[in-house]
Structure formats: structure tokens, C-alpha cells
Structure 1
């Protein structure tokens, strides 16, 4: 029996970031820009263009650009049902809109709205709650990117480890190992130096200064069966970044597994 999605869901927030509308647009509406602070992204930069966000070796989200008005408005739809392994008639597409407004003093406000329709199932409400908690920290990445690396192409590093234990205990282990005790704290781990730019609930953002400049996000999230995933995601900005990732990504994974 098919179910017509009718229960509305909505997530809305805004962030102020440095840069002109054109600089902000290049960061939020191009594949190169989005890959430098969000997830590895493929994007055809026009209305009707296809879109793909990579979420891991065999995970991703596919969509289509539905609104394209540079440098003011970007809108796109993702296939929420396919992403969640549900029937297409259970869930509407997941619609996201970015509006860029210039402010005096060389900054812009980016207003972000995501919306969709479901059936009112418990897991749907949890999905939206988790989406807000996991998506908003990326916009601190955007602010840091536009502050220090605008227009630069990122090489991404990603390492995760699945461990038994509760998220609070594992996060304490990870944050202590990083030295992420407060905003502004110096980080020195695995020959890597930086400064804590943001400290959230089970998530920290570090501005890296050595051995390669960039950003490092550290996080822990809950799995099922009494396990949690610890991870680091790096966005690196230098000619040496690709060599660093090839050499160091396995070592970061081993470091997480040994914590």
C-alpha cells in the first residue's frame, strides 16, 4: 500500500561568513568550493544539473539543481527515499536552499533551509534532529575556509574507526588525545600542529598550520549495538597535500583504532 508523504519537516538557520557574494557563491555553489569545506562533491553548475555528495566508499546522495541565480540563490533536491533505502512514494525529495545576502564590512549572511515531507515515522523525526546536529558544524568549516583559504582547492583526508563503548567516553578519549579542551587551545598530535577553532558536542574543528595548512574536523557518532565511530576529516591546502594524505591517512586510522 502506498503512502502519500504529508508530514512536513524543516531545518532553517543562518551563518555570517567573510567574503563578497561572489566569493561565497564559489564556495557554496561549485564542486571545488563545496569539496573544500563539506563532502566530496560533484556538481553540474546550472539549473537542472546533476549533483552527488560522497559520504564514504559506497555511500552517497544524488540530486539535481533546481534553482540557480548567481551569486544569490542556490536550490537543489536530493533523493531522500533512495538515501534511506525507502520506497519513492514514502518520502518526498529533500529540498535545500542557500540564500546569500551581502552585509557591510565585507561579510555575507548565508540563510540555509532544508525541507521535506514524510509519513510521520519516529525515524524521520530522528533523521531531521541528527541532520541539524551533523550539518551545522560544516558551516563553521565554511567560515574558516573563507577566512583563510578562499578559492583554494582542498585535498580531503578521512579516517574512521569503529569501537565498542559509549560516545561520551570515546569523545573524551579523542578530544583529550587531540588536546581539544577549549576554543583557542593549541593542538599537537602526530607531528600535526594547530589551534582549536570550534568545540561542540562530540565534535571539534582545528585550524592546521603544520605540516600542511588546512582544517581538521574530529568527531564521534553513535552506532548500533553499543559501538561508536571515531573519525577525523581533513581539508588540506598545499601542493604537498596529496602526498601527505597518501602517506598519513592509514596512520591516522591506526591512531584512532589505538586510542
Structure 2
């Protein structure tokens, strides 16, 4: 029997259970802090990546996906706040330790992003911009180079980036981890990823709130992450 490996996380959120539900259980909500995906099951319980074995609006859901599962549980707290508990199982690859570590690091960034989204942008809709570095940039050194371009590892420091086709991007470092960094601007949460544990290139996934030209942003950020490795 394969050992069940579990990743468990908990985060306090400055939002009501209903607001948390909208953020984790709708495509618009997921796009605003994670990535465009709709976890809603159809009438037979099927979802985009598995089957929902629990679906309780305002309280949580569980989805069985392949050999693993993931579950969100929402607990109301006083003062219109909530606690979100997340569990993921699986991690059955031969190199499961690297997969587990990379997944834990990623969720650390994204649940921080969820909290910041709810407290700062108040459930506003977003567009999601994703870009990947060259395939060869899949090493720890590639990540260190990206970090040198960002210019600081101290949360709260000012960050200013020159992105082709955009006005100077000015914000503050809101998250720093061993392979993930977040920069908050007036209208965006910018997220940068080092994926060498998975043998994948550096990448970015940005959430922009308000009225923006998605194609212009996509082209600009793709050029930026390509050009810094030339």
C-alpha cells in the first residue's frame, strides 16, 4: 500500500466565510489570487480535474483528483473573519520529496496572495498574466539571477522594474521565499516563481485588478522574462 503523504496549511483571513468561498470556489475568485480555473462540479460531481466528494457553499469542498485529493475547509471567526484550512494528498512520484517541497513553497506564496487579495483588493475581479523564461533557465542559478533583477530580498522594500512597453512598474516586496517572490503595486499582485525543484524554468504569474489590456501586459512581461536571460 502506498503511504499517504499529506500537506496541511492553515491561514487566518480578514474576510467573511462567504467572501472566502467566492475566492476559492468560483473561476473569477481563483483567477484573482491563484490561476484561472473553475472548481464547480457538474450535476454528476465531475470537475475540471477530478470529482467533488464534498461541496458545501460557504463551508468548503473536497476534490479527488487522480491518486490524490485537495480539500478546503472554512471556519467562521468573530469580527467578520475566517480561517481557511487546506489539505492536499498525493505526491506519489519517484522524486516525491521534491514535488512535495515545491508544492508547499507554492502554496505558501499563494495563500499569502489570497489573504492580501481579500484584505487589499476586496474581491475585485482580475486578469491573470503568465509568462515563462527560456527552457534552459531551470536551475537555482536562474532563480538567483531573477532575484538580482528584482533587486531586494527584504519585505517592505521598494521595487522598480523596467518592463518593455509598460510604464515603470513600482511597488513593494510583499513576499520573499526560497523560490517565490511577490511584489504588490497599486493595481496588481506580481508573483515570480523559481521551479528548478521540478526541473522547470523560471516563470511569473501576475494578477492585475481593474481595467487593463491583457494582451499588452502578456507581451510585455513575456519579453521582460525572456530578455533578462540574454
Shift of 1:150: 2.5
Aligned residues of 1:198 and 1:204 also touching (Cα < 8 A): yes
Find the counterpart in structure 2 of residue 57 from structure 1.
Answer: none
Shift of 1:205: 0.9
CA RMSD of aligned residues (A): 2.3
CA deviation vs aligned residue, 1:208-253 (integer Å, no higher than 9, x gap) = 22xxx011001221178xx7512221111112x2x1x311322222
Shift of 1:183: 0.2
TM-score w.r.t. the length of structure 2 is: 0.86
Aligned residues of 1:223 and 1:229 also touching (Cα < 8 A): no
Find the counterpart in structure 2 of residue 23 from structure 1.
Answer: 19
1:111 aligns with 2:85: yes
Question: What residue ranges of structure 1 are gaps of 5+ in the alignment?
Answer: 53-61, 80-91
**Cα 1:117–1:37 shift into 2, 3 Å:** closer
Q: 2:218 aligns with which of 242, 249, 257?
A: 249
**Cα 1:50–1:133 shift into 2, 3 Å:** same
Find the counterpart in structure 1 of residue 175 from structure 2.
Answer: 198
User: Whole-Å Cα distance in 1 between the matches of residues 12 and 126 of structure 2?
Assistant: 22
TM-score w.r.t. the length of structure 1 is: 0.77
User: Whole-Å Cα distance in 1 between the matches of residues 6 and 206 of structure 2?
Assistant: 29
Find the counterpart in structure 2 of residue 89 from structure 1.
Answer: none
Q: 2:9 aligns with which of 13, 30, 44?
A: 13
**Which has the larger strand fraction?**
1
Find the counterpart in structure 1 of residue 64 from structure 2.
Answer: 77
